[in-house]
Amino acid sequence: MTAAADVPSPAAASPPRSAFGAAFDKGFEILCFAAATFLLAALGGIVVSLAIGGWPAFQAFGLNFFVSAEWDPVQEIYGAAGAVTGTLVTAALALLFALPLSFGIAIFLVELCPPVLRRPIGTAVELLAGIPSIVYGMWGLFVFAPWFAKYIQMPIMMSAQPGSLWEKITAGVPNGAGILSASIILAIMILPFIAATLRELLLSIPAQVRESAYGLGSTTFEVVRKVSIPYVRTGAIGAVMLGLGRALGETMAVTFIIGNSHGFPTSIFASGSTIASTIANEFAEATEQLHSASLIALGLVLFVITFAVLALARLLIGRQANL
């Protein structure tokens, strides 16, 4: 509000404005303020209604809701741990796969790409961001999963020594549905967001900075590593967190390919579930009060996780900016 109080002072120095102009300005200010607070109110409203809707679940299970992986609609016992684990694991794996690729794409486009190719590749990356989630899900289930099972999962499973730890990690049904395939689909989905943002960031580096580095005799790799990336580090963390946020909340594509079993995933090929997929699967048919309350409570947990990720990103960016 201090900014608002400052507004009249420059006005006093300038020639007097018409009464209409002043009134309009006031109205404009109110409109902008309303727009900003409306968003806050909506956000607050969502949190409050999630908390109220999920309250019966928190009340019934207490802390157990967060540590138990039991999910039994018949006995009405619900625990979020399995879905939370699935969400975190798939999002983290997706980021792990998407990050190097996105950096590769962005750096290639900005530093190395022949001008003829720059537009087509850039457009392709942006198009990838526009594909609806359900299409990724269908493609994942009917095209990617069989291919993945045949050429990646089966060879890995057959190469495992019986009784070894590796066999345990790679156990699962050889049809391409599970934690790892869901993570790969997620990686493809978040890739364009991270890559496009990184490209914009790299393009924002003043030409003199890069040219000077080249002028000093640096190789391309040295320029990228020592000049470009440090220059955009703050923004890059933001881009990565944007991708992570999307991976955490992604629903349809994951639901189709993750195998949808509750409980902790036991291997990389095992079926699992995420918070979003559990809600999408069960909410429409949840008639018992405790069942829908538990699903709403799951929503609140996802909200908190996403919020924590964004807060962490802010913190990191803030620290970088101070350096």
Partner 1 sequence: MYRKLIVGLAACLALSACGQKTEGKGGSTAPAGAQISGAGATFPAPLYAKWAEVQKADTGVALNYQAIGSGGGIKQIKAKTVAFGASDKPLKPDELAAEGLAQFPTVIGGVVPIVNLPGLQPSQLKLTGPVLADIFLGKVTKWNDPAIIALNAGVKLPNLPITVVHRADGSGTSFLFTSYLTAVAPQWASVGASDAVKWPTGQGGKGNDGVSGYVKQTPGAIGYVEYAFAKQNGLPHASLQNAAGQFVDPTADAFAAAASGADWSATPGFYLLLINQPGAGAWPITGATFILMHKQQADPATGKAVLGFFDRAYATGDAAASELAYVPLPATLKAQVRASWSAIVGPDGKPVYAPAAQ
* CA dihedral sign of residues 238, 239, 244, 249: positive
Q: How far is the CB of 105 from partner 1 (least distance, A)?
A: 31
Task: Give the CA angle between residues 83, 237, 81 to the nearest 5°.
Answer: 10
Specify whether the CB–CB gap between 172 and 157 falls below 8 A. Answer: yes
At its nearest, how many Å lie between partner 1 and the CB of residue 30?
9
Complex with partner 1: residue 177 or 296, whichever CB lies closer:
177
Residue closer to partner 1 by CB (options 211, 288) is: 288
Which segment (1-9, 159-167, 171-179, 209-217) binds partner 1 by CB under 8 A?
171-179
CB of 72 to partner 1, least distance (A): 4
Among residue numbers 234 through 263, which ones bind partner 1 (CB under 8 A)?
Answer: 255-256, 259-262
CB of 82 to partner 1, least distance (A): 11
Does 71 participate in binding partner 1 (rule CB under 8 A)? yes
Q: Which among 181, 310, 295, 322 is positioned nearest to 245, based on CA atoms? A: 310
Q: Is 151 in the site for partner 1 (CB under 8 A)?
A: no
CB of 162 to partner 1, least distance (A): 15
Kindly calculate the radius of gyration of the chain based on its CA atoms and give it in whole angstroms.
25
N-to-C CA span, the chain: 30
What is the DSSP secondary structure assignment for residue 285, as one 8-state letter? G
C-beta of 205 vs 286, nearer to partner 1: 286
CB of 164 to partner 1, least distance (A): 19
Residue 110 CA to residue 234 CA, distance in Å, equals 18
Minimum gap (Å) between residue 40 Cβ and partner 1: 22
Helices (H) and strands (E) in the chain, counts: 17, 2
Give the Cα-Cα-Cα angle 64, 241, 311 (nearest 5 degrees). 60
Our CB check for partner 1 shows the closer of 80 and 191 to be 80
Residue of the chain from 19, 74, 158, 321 that contacts partner 1 (CB under 8 A): 74
Q: Does 175 bind partner 1 (CB under 8 A)?
A: yes
- By CB neighbour count within 10 A (0-12 exposed, 13-18 middle, 19+ buried), where does 133 fall? middle
What span, in angstroms and rounded, lies between the C-alpha atoms of 272 and 265? 5
Out of 9, 75, 208, 322, name the contact with partner 1 by CB under 8 A: 75
Residue numbers at the binding site for partner 1 (CB under 8 A): 23-24, 26-27, 70-75, 141-142, 145-146, 149, 173-177, 255-256, 259-262, 271, 273, 277, 280-282, 284-287, 291
